[in-house]
Structure 1
């Protein structure tokens, strides 16, 4: 457990934005089945960045994955305040630390000239309301519901696709790390949600339903602008539990096991072993897309593998690209009586820092 801190997370206050943070994000993923036979995964992250409350910038990345055809559609948009912060603060700071990084020099010069590098687009407008918590990023929206701002509705609207989803939590909020501050950032999740909604593309419209995950993190941290990375796993087991696993580079690893009743078991005693890599033709990054993970304190051994290798996403900024996508998990858990049982499930894997 990390050292004690005075602030304690509570809803609905902490569902909304935090002005004293320089980085904050609201993140979700879901696995969905359509009424016309389609199988999908959807991910989105709404970022809010900036050193001061005045001038906060807004950035959204989201993905629609067709699990049947193994195709994904990535979207990345930011507002003028993010662009200004990149040019005035974050890219100069990074280039002081990495003066020979020619790719970031090219990005810096493009932004200075007013060019927006593909595939990114500009948000026309963005705002966040506190009461009730609502995020409006161009045509995209995330709106929390109820007195405790527990569940939420989301709309992701692009030129050729539209996604509408409703998340209803199936268990209590999980304070990650046991107290909601495992490292530099405050962190809570609802790791199992019932999800229903609609996915519309050029080819068809389907009503969808399935399960999903939600994270909210905020605080003061400079890992992204320094070019640091991490490996993150949000895994939903078929037995009703979830695993939130992470290792920072540099930093302490962590494992959280969220029980069916919402209790969180936390340990730093976890090992990650990279088994198989996939190399991107766009960035030349080598991403580890297959892992062996062991959590001795809980008697858990896992094999995590990407649903398909090419799930890279280009993003704006020093880290340039991430691997963010659907994965499947198998494994075994040793029980108190000395026997073991099999584990299986689905989830998302986030690999950051490999394209630097």
Structure 2
């Protein structure tokens, strides 16, 4: 990491939880191939939420996608501290703003009775250990390793699936936006990792390998409580570069961004990006209408990109006012105009995250 950036983000210090933040998450995805012909996509996010250190709650969302069968295994769970935070702060705040949201009134009453609606679950024995950092969320664990805690092992065990993976970064840490604080949250990534391990589903157990992505964000932010949403794209190009693209849907000016992570890890950053929705998919569960096909233009980088879902139904249920998000595997192709004027074809795979549509 460049010395001039050490005052913003440094590892392993910033791998660890930040008590001054009210929201923080450690996120990864991976595209994997199995030794018996299976193709999988995996995503998990470990959240830490709370206004005060003593009351920090924990929330996990996880999906395992069998790409051959177009089948998903979804899981989300909260601990008792997050339940208390939802009852005391976050749901009352939402209901004051939206008093006719009867679905959230039902959730509030359900949590008051000590229940949680399916397919969510309560998770026990949550903890975060430091030196090295270990996230324990029930039966799910993320263990960082190495001098700077850049690599990690993950173990995810749910009723219908089991995932055991090892992530090893192939590029230096990337400070998103160029300095690691493009907007209200601190943000660093390892956008390309070698991944290997094992996946077990109802179809059997396979040894897998492929490539993955890791993000860590933290700060003080109330976008979700206010009902704001975003469109996020993490794309790993076949030429060794990676794209991190984001658009806030609140209409806040200068909130869109494009980051190109070069093969050597250096980042080019711009706010000059345009997102155009091409095709939608509507969920029968939440009535959310998600844009699952996009045309994205980044003039400063002379890139035109077409991004679409690998398959449409990749919605994930979320506990709280946003109800559901679209979080799933996508593919990309496009054109880059080189300085010489030559047109270069682009293609890649990644994940797309659409929040605020349900």
TM over 0.5: yes
Larger mean Cα displacement after TM superposition, 21-30 or 242-251: 242-251
Find the counterpart in structure 2 of residue 309 from structure 1. Answer: 312
Find the counterpart in structure 1 of residue 205 from structure 2. Answer: 205
Inter-CA distance 96–5: structure 2 relative to 1 (3 Å threshold): farther
The 5 A counterparts of 1:265-304 are: 265-304=268-307
TM-score (norm 1): 0.97
Deviation of 1:203 after TM superposition, in Å, equals: 2.7
Deviation of 1:5 after TM superposition, in Å, equals: 11
Q: Distance in 1 between matches of 2:334 and 2:139?
A: 41
Tell me if structure 1 keeps the 8 A contact 2:73–2:161.
no
Deviation of 1:7 after TM superposition, in Å, equals: 4.8
Tell me if structure 1 keeps the 8 A contact 2:5–2:179.
no
The 5 A counterparts of 1:126-205 are: 126-205=126-205
| CA RMSD between the two structures | 1.2
Find the counterpart in structure 1 of residue 322 from structure 2. Answer: 319
Tell me if structure 2 keeps the 8 A contact 1:185–1:218.
yes
Tell me if structure 2 keeps the 8 A contact 1:31–1:40.
yes
Q: Distance in 2 between matches of 1:99 and 1:269?
A: 38
Q: Distance in 1 between matches of 2:267 and 2:96?
A: 41
Deviation of 1:297 after TM superposition, in Å, equals: 0.2
Counting matched residue pairs gives 352
Q: Secondary structure at the match of 1:225?
A: coil
Q: Distance in 1 between matches of 2:150 and 2:244?
A: 19
Q: Distance in 1 between matches of 2:351 and 2:155?
A: 20
Q: Distance in 2 between matches of 1:96 and 1:260?
A: 48
Runs of 4+, deviation exceeding 6 Å:
none
Larger mean Cα displacement after TM superposition, 189-198 or 102-111: 102-111
Q: Secondary structure at the match of 2:85?
A: helix
Q: Distance in 2 between matches of 1:269 and 1:168?
A: 32
Find the counterpart in structure 2 of residue 27 from structure 1. Answer: 27
Q: Distance in 2 between matches of 1:69 and 1:337?
A: 43
Find the counterpart in structure 2 of residue 90 from structure 1. Answer: 90
Q: Distance in 1 between matches of 2:83 and 2:137?
A: 15
Say if 2:45 is the partner of 1:48: no
Deviation of 1:108 after TM superposition, in Å, equals: 1.3
Find the counterpart in structure 1 of residue 74 from structure 2. Answer: 74
Q: Structure 2: where are the runs of 5+ without partners?
A: none
Inter-CA distance 7–307: structure 2 relative to 1 (3 Å threshold): same
Deviation of 1:159 after TM superposition, in Å, equals: 2.2
TM-score (norm 2): 0.97
Say if 2:315 is the partner of 1:349: no
Inter-CA distance 253–157: structure 2 relative to 1 (3 Å threshold): same
Q: Secondary structure at the match of 1:269?
A: coil
Q: Secondary structure at the match of 2:21?
A: coil
Q: Distance in 2 between matches of 1:159 and 1:272?
A: 38
- Deviation string 1:243-288 (CA, Å, 9 cap, x unpaired) is 0000112231000000000000000000000000000000111000
Q: Distance in 2 between matches of 1:351 and 1:85?
A: 25
